[in-house]
Amino acid sequence: MLKKLRKPLIYITVLIGLVLIIRSLPLGQPPAKNSTHTESSSFYATQLVDSNDMTQDLKQYQGKIVVVNFWATWCPPCREEMPELSAFHDAYQDKNVTVLGIAVDDPAAVKEFLAATPVSYPVLIGEMEANALGDRLGNDKGILPYTVILNADGTIVSTHFGRVDGKLLAQSIAPVLHKALPLD
């Protein structure tokens, strides 16, 4: 009996395998040449809450160079880079640059952490929404900290997996900084 079923089972297994392979292939239009701009436009369409439970529309950051830092309270490198992110924010905020922290974490944990360790830049909380936003902005590895730099027109300038410092951030925004500054 098993010998009679063996051949049809092999065919069915091969057929199922082929269907799964075909379904996993990217079909349709190739990615747009300016896909980073398209992906960053979803950034501006996002709303997250701040540590005061107020909903913040990320559209408020359009027209600025934005250093978006995804982090969590349980992430040691995330906590280590926060003083440098604060110093960078303070040094560059008058040059149309904003650092924005987005916590991929429990809101209560973030509020407790920020009460003990305040930062000078805005911090928003998103848990799963923040994680999905990070994915859309290139964090295909799920690594924290993850930093994305958007120029004033919303194009992704650079992305960084792991800890960043002020020098790296300054180097990353230098090519686009003059474009964001108003002419005198």
CATH number of the domain where residue 56 is located:
3.40.30.10
Question: Is residue 12 in some structural domain?
Answer: no
> Residue 108: its pLDDT value, please?
95
Residue 25 lies in a domain: no
pLDDT single digits (tens) 88-125: 999 999 999 999 999 999 999 999 999 999 999 999 99
Provide the residue range defining the domain that includes 100: 35-180
**Span 32-78, pLDDT tens digits:** 333 444 467 789 999 999 999 999 999 999 999 999 999 999 999 99
Selection from 87, 71, 90 nearest residue 79 by Cα: 71
What total of structural domains would you count in the chain? 1
Q: Is residue 172 part of a domain?
A: yes
pLDDT tens, 122-144?
999 998 999 999 999 999 899 99
| Helix %, strand %, coil % of the chain (to 5) | 50, 20, 30
Query: Is 17 part of a structural domain of the chain?
Result: no
Going by pLDDT thresholds of 50, 70 and 90, the confidence category of residue 24 is very low
- Of 129, 136, 133, nearest to 35 by C-alpha is 136
pLDDT value of residue 61: 95
107 domain-assigned: yes
Mean pLDDT, the chain, rounded, equals 83
Is the pLDDT at 20 greater than 60? The verdict is no
Residue 140 inside a domain? The answer is yes
**Residue 153: which pLDDT band, with cuts at 50, 70 and 90?**
confident
Position 72 in a domain = yes
Residue 27 lies in a domain: no
Cβ atoms < 10 Å from Cβ of 113: 22
> Residue 15 has what pLDDT?
53
Q: What is the pLDDT of residue 68?
A: 97
DSSP states along 40-109: HHHHHT-EEEETTS-EEEGGGGTTSEEEEEEE-TT-HHHHHHHHHHHHHHHHHGGGTEEEEEEE-S-HHH
